[in-house]
Structure 1
Amino acid sequence: MTSLRRALWALAGAGVLLGLADLALILNSDLVDTPGAWAAGALVAGWGFIGVGLYAWGRRPDNRVGMLMAATGFAWLIAAAGFSDLPVVFTFGQLFGAFFFAVVMHMLLAFPSGRLQSLAERRLVAGAYLLTTAGVLPLWLFADPAQLDCADCPENVILVDANESLVSTLATILNTVGALLIGAVLVVLVQRWRRASPAQRRFLVPVYSAGVAVLLLLIVLVALQVGGLNPKALDVIWVISMVPFALVPYLFLATLVRARMIQSGAVGELMARLGETPQRGELRDALAHALSDPSLELVYWLPQDERFVDAKGHVVTLPGQGSGRAVTRVERDGGCVAAIVHDALVHDQQGGDVDAIGAAASLALENERLEAELRSKVEELRASRQRMLSIGLEERRRLERDLHDGAQQRLVSMALNMRLARGRLRDDPAAAEAMLDGAGDELESALEELRELARGIHPAVLTDRGLDTALETLARRAPVPVELGRVPSERLPEAVELAAYFVVAEALTNVAKYASASHAKVDVQRVNGRFVVQVADDGVGGADPAAGTGLRGLADRLAVIEGRLEIDSQPGNGTTITAKIPCE
């Protein structure tokens, strides 16, 4: 038996003993006209809250609703001790008689997740606890039951000085503040109901309807107390308000049992459908039916890309906290295969069942994951081809622009100088010679620019002298100091060398433009049949491949030869670009 289960059994025993003590106190009390009815009401409500609360607590230890229900039952039984003829017990029961109101409000605001969802809700609950403890204490320091139309009541053992007018004023203040708190709680519950989905409302309606009825009757009761209604009439309204209060745990239990029965049938149907080969979309529909959540979505984990995709292969971002959606990951053989995105209420109501259903469907989800992975690769290939076409078109435009603005202009200038020189050759040979010299300079500049353009298309040094020399040239021309680590001297397939060269070239260009680095290092080596190229810098980090076309173009270029680009660029920790190129 676990420690939690032992604690729950101990609390159950304490609840039984407290209820029996209340039964003995009320049956022997002269404060009520029908002690049997009052005792039965106290036990039906108190034991109901404790029993259902402990059951829910044991079923879902991470959800505080069960704990709050049990606390409500204990607080109610403590309040029932206020019917005792014993002065000490009577005083204790009266002093903490209103505490269960605060626990009830806490439970309703925390239902069904067990958590308060906003700062305003936390303030309301804190105010309720403060009002029913520290707020009530001053009242009973000056309250003499004999002066409060209760001649049969025992004496108040903590009475300091009887002051009827002060007690009346304090009671009015406490009742007014209490009514305002209850009203605020009602507003929160109504707003939550309006935001709830149809599936959520089906689960909320039993508890909310009874809880709201209790709160409304309490407001009426407080208003009549402030108005000075006859105590007998107040007792009648009090009894009426306790009927929906006592129903709350039983309605909650009925909701759990109903959901369990519906789910059991749905799970059986799910297992039967999993015995066949589900068509596309059928698995999602079966899981949605099993969990009674038509909004359920399935997303699939791609371990190589470390991301989730939908059934069409599109990248999916999981919902965050506070979105009203929950994510249950499904694992198979120790690895994540998929995730079930569902209404957060489903997790609050039956979190463990979601895990069990996901585990039962893990094989089918693994099959769908493989299909989604294939669709993702196809989608990625399509997008990559589109980007490659766009990049190719942009490169052609750049070459055209560079040729027009650079070498072409120099060649035009050279042709003009040669025509002018020919015209002056007889009359002014010296001037003609100077013009020819200028034309020669223009020709050399044009050739250098053409070589620079050709280097961007296909570096001649790479073809002629190999990757090691080509990388030394890149390192020497880089505007930041570059350390060359291991670089194989043997020749590799042309596609591999070209891909490695452009990885280093683009990485060093980014270092110079964006990294604000003082040093970079290039390392190239063979690892398990792959050619691994790594460029690291000590710059500012924070590189985003999606922000520009350079790194994304590199990734597309590598994808053509089944290579892979990895980027590690935490802000403030520099950037490391790693390319893994197949090289068998």
Structure 2
Amino acid sequence: MTALAVVGVATVAIVGREPGLSLAGPSRAVLAVEVLAAVLLTAAAVATWRAGEAFPVLLAATALAWLVSEWNSPAAGAGFTPGLLLYAAWPALLAATALRGLHEQRFDRPASGLLAVAFLSSVGVLGVASALVFDPAGQGCAACPANLVLVADAPDLWVSLGRAGLVLTAGWTVAFALLALARTVLASPARRRWSAPVLLPAVAAVLLWGAGAVHGIRRGFVSNDPTDRDLRLAEAVALALVAVGVALARLRARRTRAALAQLVLDIGAAPAPGEVRAWLATALGDPTIALLYRLEGGEWVDADGRETTPTAPPDREATRVRVAAQDVFAVVHRRGLLDDPTLLSELVTTASLALEHDRLHAACQARLHQLRASRARIVAEADSRRRELERDLHDGAQQRLVAVALAIRLARRTIAPGDAELEARLADAEEGVRSAVVALRDVAHGLFPAVLAEEGLAAALEELSEQEPRLVPRALPAGRFPSEVESAAYFATLESLLEAGHDVTVDAVAGQGLLTLTIGAGEQSASTMVQIQDRVGAVGGTATLCAGLLRVEMPCAS
């Protein structure tokens, strides 16, 4: 920045010695506007300066080149040769600055090609190539300092190079304007808001330079006739507006930071579940916004811990946020909402603690979902084994025992009359086998009642009440429910019945996606309650005991 100050002082001194040769004319007021434009650009560069960023460097270089363009004058002394080389450089630098933008956009292929032509014409043709063949003395400028890069005096070639450079300048300035305007029109509203205040004044300044180039094609060089002076003044105003646009962007960023900081203070560092999403919806003006978090294992979950993918439907988009080169969370929002990188960076910086708290909550919820799913798989596997064992007992051991009982009965019929002792022994054996069949049937039914799978919860509880008269079913829904829900409801009732020493009533009602059982179970031991809660919790339900009433609620698909 010291160099800019030195160049500024030198420019004022050069113009002061020969005001009539200034590009803007002899007016001190116009000179003040010229210098003010450079000062404002320099201030904008300082305000946006960050190590490693190109925008402030390009902006400062534009201010420097803008001042150096006045050194193409006999009054420049030692600065005359730099003035010859760089008097046309500032428009190309300004175009690069505008296309780079405050948020450091990479130059794509169209931008890179355009800038290559811009620097080729401004610095290569109008600057270096023309200076190599320009002898001030040979052109009749006895007061001009020596051209330190002169190779050969070629007046005709110098004019031809000047015309070629000005034609190229006219072309690339129009191309730049079209490219910049197309990007502005096609940009989302958010991106347009932060890019237009800098890009549009830059377009105006470059087009004014292009108009000056067209004006100078006939003579082959840029001069300072009345038209050139008017264009120079307009260029200075446009450059000042570029600096104002940078200031507006900085002000908007500061306001955004303040608003986000205030909202963070409002919700605190440990917001309640869902509060961060509601806060962002208010701050960003999108009530449908959603937050997704990336866990340590790489999987993505929503704010409730359910697995998802960081994608969005066609009318929305998902913006991933990276911290330390890793995706941390994603925001699903309406299109264009987070096209403003300032908003996104301020969001990450200001709300990082609240977002991290919400991410940890989502991670805990994800672990709970995984635990619940694991418990559900265990219960489902246990029920499956129960069904298999019940079927094996019914179709295997029970049938074989029945066959044994039948064989004993047939054997009794073949006993010789009068063998009372053998008859009594066989009768006892048959009775024992039949008792074993009944006991085995009870065991199989206790493992998993077949009627529960075949006819549903209501039929299973009715059958259980026939076997256990202490169970008194009252209101039971006739419909079917998911098998795991029916199984949990049945075994919760059975465990309560086995624990109680009195009659047990059971009521069940289905509605609003829930199956609710109220069991008059009386007091239950802690171990029984743990078994019931584990079984019910495996299907996402709850079981609570209050005043002797066990209330079981489970989600169902009825």
**1:427 corresponds to which residue?**
none
Choose which of 3, 6, 15 in structure 2 pairs with 1:26.
15
**1:168 corresponds to which residue?**
159
- 1:45 pairs with 2:44: no
TM-score normalised by L of structure 1 = 0.54
Query: Which residues of 2 match residues 254-265 of structure 1 at below 5 A?
Result: 254-265=248-259
Instruction: Select between 365-374 and 286-295 the one with higher mean Cα deviation.
Output: 286-295
- The residue type equivalent to 2:172 in the other structure is L
- The residue type equivalent to 2:120 in the other structure is L
- The residue type equivalent to 1:119 in the other structure is R
Q: Give the Å deviation of 1:27.
A: 1.9
- 1:56 pairs with 2:56: no
Q: 1:376 to 1:285 in 2, by over 3 A?
A: farther
- The residue type equivalent to 1:287 in the other structure is L
TM-score normalised by L of structure 2 = 0.56
Choose which of 287, 295, 301 in structure 1 pairs with 2:294.
301
**1:185 corresponds to which residue?**
176
**1:121 corresponds to which residue?**
111
The alignment partner of 2:320 has SS state of strand
Distance 1:341 1:62 in 2: 30
**1:41-77 deviation digits (Å, cap 9, x = unpaired):** 332122222221122123xx35321222122222223
- 1:220 pairs with 2:211: yes
**1:78-116 deviation digits (Å, cap 9, x = unpaired):** 323334604432232132111222211111111133233
Query: Which residues of 2 match residues 315-334 of structure 1 at below 5 A?
Result: 315-317=308-310, 327-329=320-322
The alignment partner of 2:79 has SS state of helix
**1:96 corresponds to which residue?**
86
The alignment partner of 2:351 has SS state of helix
Structure 2 segments unaligned to the other structure (5+ residues): 385-537, 539-558
Kept after mapping to 2: 8 A contact 1:291/1:346: no
Distance 1:14 1:290 in 2: 43
The alignment partner of 2:62 has SS state of helix
Identity %: 24
Q: Give the Å deviation of 1:210.
A: 0.7
Distance 1:198 1:183 in 2: 24
Kept after mapping to 1: 8 A contact 2:167/2:213: yes
**1:231-254 deviation digits (Å, cap 9, x = unpaired):** 222221222122112221222112
Q: Give the Å deviation of 1:124.
A: 2.2
Choose which of 222, 237, 251 in structure 2 pairs with 1:243.
237
Distance 1:285 1:171 in 2: 62
Kept after mapping to 2: 8 A contact 1:26/1:38: no
Distance 2:180 2:319 in 1: 21
Distance 1:74 1:275 in 2: 46
The alignment partner of 2:49 has SS state of helix
- 1:71 pairs with 2:61: yes
Q: 1:235 to 1:297 in 2, by over 3 A?
A: farther
- The residue type equivalent to 1:298 in the other structure is L
Q: 1:110 to 1:316 in 2, by over 3 A?
A: same
Choose which of 349, 359, 364 in structure 2 pairs with 1:355.
349
Q: 1:63 to 1:34 in 2, by over 3 A?
A: same
Distance 1:98 1:21 in 2: 18
Kept after mapping to 2: 8 A contact 1:293/1:346: no
The alignment partner of 2:233 has SS state of helix
Q: Give the Å deviation of 1:38.
A: 4.6
Distance 1:250 1:278 in 2: 41
The alignment partner of 2:75 has SS state of coil
Q: 1:156 to 1:258 in 2, by over 3 A?
A: same
Kept after mapping to 1: 8 A contact 2:95/2:115: yes
Distance 1:269 1:373 in 2: 29
- The residue type equivalent to 1:17 in the other structure is V
Kept after mapping to 2: 8 A contact 1:50/1:70: yes
The alignment partner of 1:57 has SS state of coil
Q: Give the Å deviation of 1:302.
A: 2.6
**1:140 corresponds to which residue?**
131
What is the aligned residue count? 367
Q: Give the Å deviation of 1:215.
A: 2.3
**1:204-258 deviation digits (Å, cap 9, x = unpaired):** 1211221121122222222222255982222212221221122212221122113
**1:406 corresponds to which residue?**
none
Instruction: Select between 116-125 and 225-234 the one with higher mean Cα deviation.
Output: 225-234
Query: Which residues of 2 match residues 199-210 of structure 1 at below 5 A?
Result: 199-210=190-201
Distance 1:295 1:78 in 2: 53
- 1:272 pairs with 2:266: yes
Kept after mapping to 1: 8 A contact 2:292/2:301: yes
- 1:283 pairs with 2:276: yes
The alignment partner of 1:298 has SS state of strand
Q: Give the Å deviation of 1:345.
A: 4.6
- The residue type equivalent to 1:302 in the other structure is L
Q: 1:206 to 1:181 in 2, by over 3 A?
A: same
Distance 2:317 2:26 in 1: 48
Distance 2:157 2:44 in 1: 41
- 1:17 pairs with 2:14: no
Query: Which residues of 2 match residues 147-546 of structure 1 at below 5 A?
Result: 156-227=147-218, 231-274=225-268, 277-278=271-272, 280=274, 282-287=275-280, 290=283, 298-303=291-296, 305-311=297-303, 313-317=306-310, 327-329=320-322, 338-339=329-330, 345-347=339-341, 351=345, 354-371=348-365, 374=368
Q: 1:195 to 1:92 in 2, by over 3 A?
A: same
Q: 1:56 to 1:318 in 2, by over 3 A?
A: farther
Distance 2:98 2:123 in 1: 19
Q: 1:324 to 1:224 in 2, by over 3 A?
A: farther
- The residue type equivalent to 2:111 in the other structure is E
Higher relative contact order (CA 8 A, sep 6+): 2
**1:282-301 deviation digits (Å, cap 9, x = unpaired):** 52342365568889752212
Distance 1:293 1:160 in 2: 65
Q: Give the Å deviation of 1:162.
A: 4.5
